[in-house]
Structure 1
């Protein structure tokens, strides 16, 4: 008759190896943040778990409700934006969703800039109305247009610090004053300018949003978003919504983005310098109909941009070539070393064509009204040598002209 003592040692050792033991203790600490992919976290007792859920003790339970890598990343961005308690989501649109779903209800009304990221526009025009939330688009460079769009049901105004893709700069000071006076929340998507150029909450916004995927992370290998509010009640509502809807960020992506943040200021400064040089190069090329760069004196919002963003023009440049879609195809084909990709904020320069990517859902008439023709391009300038970028685009523009 065999008993437990007769179990071979190898079998017992294998079983013991499956036990979830504590991570090795150490009197020293890791210099680099560790990746913590665990979905669940063990608590000592039911009472200890109660303490965590009820705020008497700090701890993690289930990664959908938060995990160490997301918190480490959020705290870094909190410091940059001058706020506490921001949350990281699985994408920039996840952050937008947490805001809309957490703060709005049926019968509420939103006023938004008429030049936003394409998916933000689609959420405003297609998704929110299904839930009984109406939206009106208005020109954010004119605060009176925003005010004229307000109704008694308006709960929130949403603008981008620099519009995508025409790089217009809203009248942020006047809109912040308008929102305060009318008792309406102001949300600012600060992705393009980042906290290095503009801190939206300090300037009167109630909510700030980032697509961390872009400049903050900076390497096109992590998809994440961030949202924070000055009011803790608003923050709790958005966080609860993010948890309930499963807008969870990947621990690995959070780890990548935190690593990217360590070089963020260096990358951003260099990219801005390159963008200013590239904008001037493009403006001198035959076949370029116009160049849009907030740092140039011919930009329609140049003075406002310089005042708001501390004299920085940013890393984004848009330009338009003559010849429509055929010219656009020739331009892209002639620049094989510039990734043609619907993204921005990478360490390397990328080229985007909004009519075929971010704003393809808009009608041709609507795009034209926004100034987005078939020859319109947006360049996310990276940290390469500026002379190299100028030469690559000079050849591409020449090819576009045939």
Structure 2
């Protein structure tokens, strides 16, 4: 005898057990049931429990708490917020804290989409923007306006690997009551802690090295100020910037190996940078701990001697050489991303910074032969050999 259909479609409780799962359960439910209207009212009044996944769900909370530990976030602030992407984390900050007539000052070497947001999207909302050199706190100070509400900087710029004068910028902003927002994606909490350094807000593209496997798209934003946190979270929920439980579950799994991956990738990056510098056909190499880096002394002091896993270099020969190099390195993924467990190769003129004019890219030092390498954890000798052969092929062909 078949059970009545109505019995099958009724939701049942979760099986109980005296033991508990070692792995965090994946909870994909979009909605949560409450016992009665009074209980639901109480939940909304004290922000306890879960009601609707756009307003929060267990997998996002677990992930946020773990990144909070890395970033040194005080639980009393309410904790970090997980968003649907790195750009949505920045978007939640802007949407939650800015209004028409405010001015945002950005570093002039931000990630390409952040630059687009500053140049095109915020002005459409009546928010003024401008850019200045973050490696020079006096240049940032000169760009301050009476209505400046916020400064957005990357500690290490994408993709030019310049190191911001964080101490100078934070001190200058604090003296004027201006919020400092730090994109800590490149640096990661292993090398720099923005909130401990005095910044007001830290953001991440969790998609990158924190998650580490190119299979989850997420962002993170945190502050020690509960009021700022509330405003940012309201924007996150209202604009629907919240993440999927599955991506949060994947990212938490990746986060467990973050320190091991960071250490291995950083060691590989240091070796690769030195090897590239000795290769004919390479015009320049950018890596923070190399003595020829323009911000070497600041990088050593600010980052404790950690150079990270990102290396940039430029070829002689322009676009032709760039095409030849990528074709000659088929086992190194040519992809517009970073932070994967394996090495990826990116060409900013055709990806992250394609929206800039050639003159705009040239002003940042991004030529047609410019590459950014997100170094992974594979054998360093293999990586150096593969890229060395590709550089040689590009030099010969160009």
Asked if these proteins are the same fold (TM beyond 0.5), I'd say: yes
Matched, 1:52 2:43: yes
Tell me if the contact between 1:295 and 1:314 (Cα under 8 Å) persists in the aligned partners. no
In the superposition, the TM-score normalised over structure 1's length comes to 0.97
Shift of 1:97: 0.3
| Cross-structure match for 2:65 | 75
| Cross-structure match for 1:64 | 54
Shift of 1:195: 0.6
| Counterparts of 1:340 and 1:209, CA distance in 2 | 26
| Counterparts of 2:217 and 2:313, CA distance in 1 | 27
Matched, 1:362 2:352: no
Shift of 1:11: 4.0
Tell me if the contact between 1:88 and 1:227 (Cα under 8 Å) persists in the aligned partners. yes
| Counterparts of 2:29 and 2:64, CA distance in 1 | 18
| Cross-structure match for 1:143 | 137
Shift of 1:370: 0.4
Which SS does the other structure have where 2:27 is aligned? coil
Matched, 1:97 2:91: yes
| Cross-structure match for 1:26 | 17
Shift of 1:310: 1.6
Which SS does the other structure have where 2:22 is aligned? coil
Which of the numbers 160, 163, 169 marks the counterpart of 2:157? Answer: 163
| Cross-structure match for 1:10 | 2
| Cross-structure match for 1:110 | 104
Matched, 1:200 2:194: yes
| Cross-structure match for 1:282 | 276
| Counterparts of 1:266 and 1:210, CA distance in 2 | 19
Which of the numbers 307, 318, 321 marks the counterpart of 1:327? Answer: 321
| Cross-structure match for 1:4 | none
Shift of 1:25: 1.3
| Cross-structure match for 2:382 | 388
Which SS does the other structure have where 2:204 is aligned? strand
| Counterparts of 1:167 and 1:130, CA distance in 2 | 30
Runs (4+) off by over 3 Å: none
Tell me if the contact between 1:219 and 1:347 (Cα under 8 Å) persists in the aligned partners. yes
Tell me if the contact between 1:187 and 1:208 (Cα under 8 Å) persists in the aligned partners. yes
| Cross-structure match for 1:349 | 343
Q: How does 1:237-386 map to 2 (within 5 A)?
A: 237-386=231-380
| Counterparts of 1:86 and 1:360, CA distance in 2 | 32
Single out whichever of 16-25 and 104-113 deviates more from structure 2.
16-25
What 5-or-longer segments of structure 2 have no aligned partner? none
Which SS does the other structure have where 2:333 is aligned? coil
In the superposition, the TM-score normalised over structure 2's length comes to 0.98
| Counterparts of 1:360 and 1:33, CA distance in 2 | 40
Shift of 1:58: 2.5
Shift of 1:302: 1.0
| Counterparts of 1:270 and 1:371, CA distance in 2 | 29
Tell me if the contact between 1:112 and 1:136 (Cα under 8 Å) persists in the aligned partners. yes
RMSD: 0.8
| Counterparts of 2:11 and 2:3, CA distance in 1 | 17
Tell me if the contact between 1:274 and 1:386 (Cα under 8 Å) persists in the aligned partners. yes
| Cross-structure match for 1:184 | 178
Q: Which has the higher Rg, Structure 1 or Structure 2?
A: 1
